[in-house]
């Protein structure tokens, strides 16, 4: 019990979740409690039951063999075993209620299927990020080492600690390890099986169906480490060498180094990449080092080094260029001999044909570099330099340059105009490369041209070049695709998308019941969008064909046959987007029946109760009237019923009129008589 009380006062906020609810359900309550759950209130432990209402600062503690389902407005929260959830404050914001929840540890699943302008939403904070989710289904799991978000349907907006934003699409699984390490993968089969196990098969299946996704293996391509620091190419014999190699994982994972081959006595530190050896004799050797990242992707460095007893030359040139791209090359001494770099002559083979052609054919010159080298054809070229000292001694070096044409990016978005309800197809299947097959190219997408890659999240590329995306906000967006080939060359293409709020018909107004022959006014009530509505179409005979077209949202019509009719209205805006709404009405062939009651009898100056009744099977009665003096001008009215009292001042036989008005603006009448007598009062002596 002491342990549970200690958990009640746990104050470290790992994750906060915020719901917004536009209904009047202003409480968070337990809808289903399975197993042993406890709730801490004011430092005391209580056992939860179905219907239990939670308040601010209450903490729900779920045991290892239990589950809890909580409900707040449109949102449903499932808490898995071994979870702790604390309730925060509730505040009203712009007509909605905002409830904060803190997931101290464990796992929750949230779902809401409502589609409203002010949708329920939630925000959670943890591991330096904030995630905002609207309508959809999302699973959140937190522990000390990792935060995992499994997005089944809908989408969530992730904001990092430095305010950068990323959108997590449906059918995605995001893992966050620390502030700078994350990866996005598709929802896996194990994710689905796990959720079905503790949330429920039907709930999870429905969410997957709603999003149109199925569990699958990962398609995000994890890139191999990229070498950014290489060993020198020339070392002097007899000098101890300490050098460093470095490779960076594009997914920000850790990299380890392994020496596959090298000089005798050469060592390589697995973590730091520090290379140590003591070259004794002159010669050359091939050093092979493998860099391996945390996802077991590897990159091999095959590096040629020379051990020299005299000053050697190093040829500096880019590893890869494009056809037609100008580049420079230059020769230099090793770093430890850089101060002795004067008094040498150089000649270069700049085109890889085996002939020294710079500065002149087979001749040496003082310039140690060549500017504006260029290749027009793809391939691998061997560039050479030869250096001569004042005594006529020469040394040489060579460097391979890969000439690789950049891939050609292509992007087509379908449709180019849509709404926040539209699922857009981002199609980069037209990307091409002269050397690599289309299936060997990989892509990534920036969905709003903000310089941050959204699909996949942050880093990495995907092999699948067709993906779907929905924008949650209206506006114009420029989508960028970047394609990368096997050599690491990239290209980009873009396409513009216009996203509107969407056209929507709220309801159709007309009487629910209509009399044959009545002329009724039918109006299509809709919410305006960014695009003007051009056409209103009407179907008034229960079929799917819209036989009437108008330029206004109102149409007057007379029904000639009785029966049930499904009235349909369709509106079409200037971009071709349409919305449809319908309403069922009943057409009847019968009129309103009115009965004034009576005849009535009363004394002068004595109140008499008059009770008229009316029935109308095809219309609603809006008002009841009585005319007491026969001038056909109502003296009394009511919206409730036709029952009233009246006092007549004079005796005689009075004709009174009872009438009603229906919601089709028609009036119906009936009359009756009231006999008013003037009898003398009778004394009662007791």
- pLDDT value for 658: 93
- Return the residue matching tokens 């950049």: 406
User: Closest Cα partner for 295 from 410, 175, 153, 143?
Assistant: 175
Q: Is the pLDDT of residue 532 over 60?
A: yes
- pLDDT value for 336: 57
Order of strands across the sheet that contains 412-414: 412-414, 424-427, 466-469
Asked if 137 and 131 touch (Cβ cutoff 8 Å), the reply is no
- pLDDT value for 518: 79
- pLDDT value for 335: 65
- pLDDT value for 446: 92
Q: What is the mean pLDDT of residues 491-504?
A: 88
Q: Is 648 buried (19+), middle (13-18) or exposed (0-12) by CB count in 10 A? A: buried
Q: What is the mean pLDDT of residues 508-517?
A: 83
**What is the SS3 assignment for 439?**
helix
**What is the SS3 assignment for 369?**
strand
Q: What is the mean pLDDT of residues 641-664?
A: 89
- Give 469's strand partners: 424
Asked if 660 and 667 touch (Cβ cutoff 8 Å), the reply is yes
User: Closest Cα partner for 185 from 213, 159, 144?
Assistant: 213
CATH of range 226-403; options 3.30.70.20, 3.30.420.40, 3.40.50.300, 2.60.40.10: 2.60.40.10
**Band of the pLDDT at 3, cuts 50, 70, 90?**
very low
Angle between helices 201-211 and 189-198 (to 10 degrees): 140
Q: What is the mean pLDDT of residues 499-520?
A: 84
Q: Is the pLDDT of residue 295 over 90?
A: no
- pLDDT value for 21: 33
Domain 412-500 fold: Immunoglobulin-like (2.60.40)
Average pLDDT over the chain, rounded to whole? Answer: 81
**Band of the pLDDT at 41, cuts 50, 70, 90?**
low
Could you state, in order of their start, the residue ranges of all structural domains in the chain? 2-211, 226-403, 412-500, 504-588, 593-677
User: In this predicted model, what pLDDT tens digit does every residue of 147-162 receive, in sequence order?
Assistant: 788 888 887 777 766 5
User: In this predicted model, what pLDDT tens digit does every residue of 414-461 receive, in sequence order?
Assistant: 998 888 878 899 999 999 998 888 888 989 999 988 888 888 866 678
Q: How far apart are CA 549 and CA 503, in angstroms?
A: 18
- pLDDT value for 23: 37
Domain 504-588 fold: Immunoglobulin-like (2.60.40)
CATH class, domain 2-211, is mainly beta
Q: Is the pLDDT of residue 275 over 90?
A: yes
**Band of the pLDDT at 2, cuts 50, 70, 90?**
very low
- Return the residue matching tokens 């050397």: 435
Domains 412-500 and 504-588 share a fold: yes
Q: Which CATH superfamily hosts domain 593-677?
A: Immunoglobulins (2.60.40.10)
Q: How far apart are CA 104 and CA 110, in angstroms?
A: 16
């Amino acid at each position: 019990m002491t342990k549970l009380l200690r958990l009640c006062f746990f104050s470290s906020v790992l994750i906060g979740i915020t719901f917004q609810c536009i209904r009047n359900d202003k409480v968070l309550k337990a809808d289903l409690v399975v197993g042993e759950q406890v709730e801490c209130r004011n430092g005391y432990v209580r056992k939860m039951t179905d219907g239990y209402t939670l308040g601010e600062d209450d903490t729900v503690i779920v045991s290892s063999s239990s589950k809890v389902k909580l409900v707040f407005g449109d949102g449903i929260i499932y808490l898995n075993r071994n979870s702790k959830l604390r309730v925060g404050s509730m505040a009203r914001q712009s007509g909605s209620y905002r409830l904060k929840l803190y997931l101290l540890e464990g796992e929750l699943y949230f779902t809401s299927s409502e589609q409203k302008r002010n949708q329920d939403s939630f925000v959670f904070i943890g591991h330096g990020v904030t995630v905002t989710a609207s309508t959809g289904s999302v699973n959140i799991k937190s522990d000390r080492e990792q935060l995992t978000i499994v997005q089944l349907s809908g989408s969530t907006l992730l904001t990092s600690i430095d305010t950068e934003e990323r959108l997590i699409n449906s059918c995605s699984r995001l893992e966050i390890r620390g502030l700078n390490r994350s990866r996005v993968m598709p929802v896996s089969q194990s994710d689905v099986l796990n959720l079905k196990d503790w949330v429920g098969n039907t709930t999870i299946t429905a969410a997957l169906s709603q999003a149109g996704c199925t569990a699958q293996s990962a398609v995000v391509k994890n890139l191999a480490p990229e070498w950014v620091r290489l060993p020198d190419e020339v070392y002097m014999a007899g000098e101890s060498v300490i050098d460093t190699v470095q490779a960076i994982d594009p997914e920000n994972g850790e990299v380890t180094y392994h020496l596959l081959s090298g000089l005798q006595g050469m060592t390589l530190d697995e973590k730091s990449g520090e290379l140590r050896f003591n070259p004794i004799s002159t010669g050359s050797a091939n050093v092979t080092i493998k860099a391996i990242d945390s996802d077991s992707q590897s990159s091999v460095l095959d590096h040629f080094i020379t051990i020299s007893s005299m000053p050697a030359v190093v040829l500096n040139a880019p590893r890869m260029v494009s056809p037609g791209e100008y580049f420079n090359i230059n020769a230099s001494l090793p770093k430890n001999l850089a101060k002795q770099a004067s008094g040498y002559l150089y000649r270069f083979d700049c085109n890889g044909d085996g002939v020294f052609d710079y500065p002149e054919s087979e001749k040496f010159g003082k310039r140690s570099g060549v500017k504006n080298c260029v290749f027009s054809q793809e391939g691998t070229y061997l560039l050479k330099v030869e250096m001569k000292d004042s005594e006529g001694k020469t040394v040489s070096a060579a460097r391979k340059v890969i000439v690789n044409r950049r891939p050609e990016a292509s992007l087509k978005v379908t449709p180019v105009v849509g709404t926040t309800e539209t699922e857009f197809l981002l199609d980069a299947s037209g990307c091409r490369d002269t050397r690599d097959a289309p299936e060997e190219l990989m892509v990534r997408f920036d969905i709003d041209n903000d310089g941050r890659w959204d699909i996949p999240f942050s880093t990495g590329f995907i092999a699948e070049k067709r993906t779907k995306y929905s924008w949650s906000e209206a506006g114009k967006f420029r989508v960028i695709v970047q394609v990368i080939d096997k050599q690491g060359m990239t290209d980009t293409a873009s396409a513009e998308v216009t996203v509107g709020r969407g056209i929507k018909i709220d309801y159709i107004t007309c009487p629910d019941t209509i009399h044959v022959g009545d002329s009724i006014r039918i109006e299509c009530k809709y919410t305006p969008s960014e695009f003007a509505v051009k056409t209103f179409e009407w179907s008034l005979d229960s079929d799917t064909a819209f036989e009437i077209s108008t330029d206004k949202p109102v149409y007057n019509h007379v029904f000639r046959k009785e029966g049930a009719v499904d009235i349909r209205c369709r509106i079409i805006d200037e971009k071709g987007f349409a919305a449809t709404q319908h309403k069922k009405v009943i057409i009847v062939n019968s009129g309103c029946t009115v009965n004034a009651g009576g005849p009535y009898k009363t004394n002068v100056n004595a109140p008499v109760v008059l009770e008229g009744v009316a029935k109308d099977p095809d219309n609603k009665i809006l008002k009841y009237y009585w005319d007491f003096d026969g001038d056909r001008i109502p003296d009394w009215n009511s919206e409730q019923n036709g029952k009233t009292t009246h006092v007549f001042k004079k005796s005689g036989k009075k004709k009174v009129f009872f009438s009603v008005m229906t919601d089709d603006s028609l009036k119906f009448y009936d009359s009756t008589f009231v006999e008013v007598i003037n009898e003398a009062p009778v004394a009662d002596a007791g």
